[in-house]
Structure 1
Amino acid sequence: MSTTHSPDSKGKPPLALIAGPTASGKTDIAVNLALALKSRGRKAAVVNCDSAQVYRDLGTLSARPTAEDMRGVAHLLFGTWDGATACSTADWAKAAKETIARLHCDNTMPILVGGTGLYIRTLLDGISPIPPIDPDIRAAIRAMDQSDARSALEAEDPEAAARLAPADTARTARALEIIRSTGTPMWKWHGQQVGGIAKSIHLHPLILVPEREKLYAKCDARFNWMLRNGAIEEVQALLARGLNPELPVMRAIGVREIAGWLEGGCSRDEMIARGQMATRQYAKRQYTWFRNQSPPNWQRIDPESFVLSTHFELIFQD
């Protein structure tokens, strides 16, 4: 992933990035930064890079910022997609690039905030120019049993098979679709990334790394808060729509767990335990991703030790 403060960054439009695991307080910091810039006569807007908060169906379940949370600061790409339409990484990156360009034209500082590392990497470094997958090939592969798909991938793209876990159904299907539709294995496409904005902006990144046990306690508390503040009603509304269960909105954390309880598959206490565990596991994956995938020279800080003027000093000087 691209780094920051390159020697040729002078004169390039700035972009702030505040990223980290769920329940780490990213939005509060982003809004505080925007308000601090406003007090200095500079416009700013918060741009979402969370793959659940893009869906309007998941206001509570994604902990999407409320009007009270926003405190008068413009928030963009939150609740933009209807759950019936999957928002791919490429879809989001295209929308984010257009949004950031408009903000820069208006002399407004974009503050990118979220925890979806793949979104961030794709925006900065670009995406592989893989041609559209043949619909018939996609349908045939998605209808395959996972064991059959895995065996086919081992034969047709052994490099991808060696890299992917045997139970990873989504990535197995994707790799098999690519090799069958394009005749080229996934790894060759991944070496040809295009469309990233890293070289055209001056990036100011901050990675939040809370103490793990405190983070997990916040995850547990947040799931309980969701249940009290509309999460159950959101899942009921989704189920009433009869959406494809493979859509991202139907696989969001909390949706499956609450749906299982509503349909009589578990007790309320079991549902809560499963939802809290899923949230903690997701936070752990995000934590690991940012630790291993983000450049070592990106600032990392425990949110409890965060000082706005110190950690974004360069922004205030620009």
Structure 2
Amino acid sequence: MTAKDAILIAGPTASGKSAFALDLAERRGGLIINADSMQVYRELRIVTARPSESHQARVPHRLYGVRSGVAPYSVGQWLDDAAEALREARESGLVPIFVGGTGLYFKALLEGLSPVPEIPDDIRSYWRERARIETAAALHTLLGDRDPAAAAQLRPSDTQRIVRALEVVQATGQSITQWQQGEGTPLLNAEQTEKYVVAPDRATLYRACDARAARMVEDGAIEEVAALLRLGLDPALPVMRAIGVRPLGAYLRGETDLETALSRLQTETRRYAKRQLTWARRNMISWGWIEPE
């Protein structure tokens, strides 16, 4: 048992953080809790590199494949589910080990969530419909007119967060950036946690990203994406923006060949890993940075 209350393990995709978490859980008697926003969706086991059944059988795992992608899954919902998993770990005498690549989940664990009010259903439905028929860039321009502070912080391609900012400013009359300055209630005390970022050197990481993408295709990612597309979900839903869904979807529609689709999947994976590393360097500078081995 560790002297700390919990262990947090972050890192980019394909960095080896899940293997590190499994090793720690076996040595210290841990319960692994998912902190990856895509691995919660049950429809995408292969595409999101969810831990294998054999790994999950070795130590308890929680919050993997527990939600359907037919509906969005928010940071707040995850924090509620994480609190339940944390209680389970403590009641069982196990060390809670949070592992994943979603920086905002770790931020919520250690800082809590800002007290943004509930958004009325009619406003939420209105902006989701706008997102369905308009481009992210057009919505970002609109946000720039209504909430310049929020627009300046968001990528023009980030539909989900742009829509969220538009919802908040319409419902409350205040920028989401103002609400985010409020203090939330953290789930964990940062001083009572072990915190690691698993960060290979960039060349090693990119090779691992390429290898993972190729392995996903071999393991059935195309069939998994085909099953997801048959559900006819709104393209704006988070699950539809998982890494790999677009290039493999293009292949399934006959818009490209498999070699090109795989190349695009590898590029997406590397770019995502780079963004994750950039976020970690800005927000997790005080964490322990370690090589995979």
Query: Same fold by TM (over 0.5)?
Result: yes
2:265 counterpart residue number: 275
Cα-Cα RMSD: 2.0
Alignment of 1:136-151 (within 5 A): 136-144=122-130, 145-146=134-135, 149-151=139-141
1:15 counterpart residue number: 6
Point out the structure with max Rg over C-alpha: 1
CA drift of 1:150 comes to 3.8
Runs (5+) with no aligned partner, structure 1: 1-10, 38-42, 305-318
Using the alignment, how far apart are the partners of 2:127 and 2:57 within structure 1?
A: 47
1:154 aligns with 2:144: yes
2:245 counterpart residue number: 255
Alpha carbons of structure 1 residues 114 and 200: separation in structure 2 relative to 1, 3 Å: closer
Alignment check: 8 A CA contact 1:14 1:201 kept: no
The amino acid that maps onto 2:7 is: A
Alpha carbons of structure 1 residues 131 and 238: separation in structure 2 relative to 1, 3 Å: same
Alignment of 1:30-45 (within 5 A): 30-37=21-28, 43-45=29-31
1:301 counterpart residue number: 290
Alignment of 1:90-109 (within 5 A): 90-109=76-95
Alignment check: 8 A CA contact 1:49 1:115 kept: yes
Runs (5+) with no aligned partner, structure 2: none
Percent identity, please: 42
Using the alignment, how far apart are the partners of 2:154 and 2:231 within structure 1?
A: 33
1:216 counterpart residue number: 206
The amino acid that maps onto 2:68 is: D
Using the alignment, how far apart are the partners of 1:262 and 1:149 within structure 2?
A: 29
CA drift of 1:60 comes to 0.7
Which SS does the other structure have where 1:56 is aligned? coil
Which shows bigger deviation, 59-68 or 166-175? Answer: 166-175
1:72 aligns with 2:58: yes
CA drift of 1:201 comes to 7.2
2:113 counterpart residue number: 127
Q: How many residues align?
A: 288
Alignment check: 8 A CA contact 2:160 2:236 kept: no
Using the alignment, how far apart are the partners of 2:9 and 2:64 within structure 1?
A: 16
CA drift of 1:166 comes to 3.9
The amino acid that maps onto 1:23 is: A
State the TM-score, normalizing by the size of structure 2.
0.92
1:226 counterpart residue number: 216
1:179 aligns with 2:179: no
CA drift of 1:24 comes to 0.9
Alignment of 1:113-124 (within 5 A): 113-124=99-110
Alpha carbons of structure 1 residues 297 and 258: separation in structure 2 relative to 1, 3 Å: same
Alpha carbons of structure 1 residues 176 and 75: separation in structure 2 relative to 1, 3 Å: same
The amino acid that maps onto 1:131 is: P
Using the alignment, how far apart are the partners of 1:290 and 1:200 within structure 2?
A: 16
Using the alignment, how far apart are the partners of 1:135 and 1:71 within structure 2?
A: 40
State the TM-score, normalizing by the size of structure 1.
0.85
Alignment check: 8 A CA contact 2:47 2:244 kept: yes
1:189 aligns with 2:179: yes
Which shows bigger deviation, 191-200 or 217-226? Answer: 191-200
Alignment check: 8 A CA contact 1:141 1:149 kept: no
